[in-house]
Amino acid sequence: MTNHEIKIAFEEYSTLAELSKADQNICNEAVRAMANSHSPYSKFRVGAALQLQSGRVVLGSNQENVAYPSGLCAERVALFNWGANHPDDPIQTIAITAHTDNFDIIKPVTPCGSCLQVMAEYEKKQDQQLRIILYCIDGPVWITQGVCSFLPFMFFEDRLVIQ
């Protein structure tokens, strides 16, 4: 038997003000993305903003549906928008934030497993890790490099790749 240990590293900042202006801007873009959230059922608004290598920003917000499985998370809305419209402009950073009037969010909200798997796919596609910023409005900010920090055993099968 062999024991293995997985460790992750991330930076934690107490407030948005501690970040660089560029990071503050992309976090504010994620907040702006929440304005287009369609979340009448959960009342849990999520915004995501992608900072592309060119400087372009791509936004996404969660889109719910009365048939719950038909909705889509903010992260995937932003990532699929990028994949459909800007696939040759690599993603450098994704910022994600959330808000609800129903309770206080006191720590950053992490992406769901489906969103992490899509993020992993796009890291592979662009052969470059994503810098991930999880922003808690009026609270802490977590920054990490790469989806492997959240999903160390992500699914990827090299033999399925089209040659």
Which helix (H) or strand (E) is 46 found in, with range? strand 44-52
Q: Which residues pair with 93 in a beta bridge?
A: 51, 131
**Residue owning tokens 């915004």:** 47
Identified catalytic residue from 5, 11, 64, 75: 75
- The pLDDT of residue 40: 96
Tokens found for residue 9: 């590293």
Catalogue all structural domains in the chain, each as residue range(s) with its CATH number: 11-148 (3.40.140.10)
pLDDT in tens, 51-107: 999 999 999 999 999 998 899 999 999 999 999 999 999 999 999 999 999 999 999
Average pLDDT, the chain: 94
Residue 25 neighbours by CB under 8 Å, 6+ apart? none
pLDDT in tens, 98-140: 999 999 999 999 999 999 999 999 999 999 999 999 999 999 9
In the annotation, is 75 catalytic?
Answer: yes
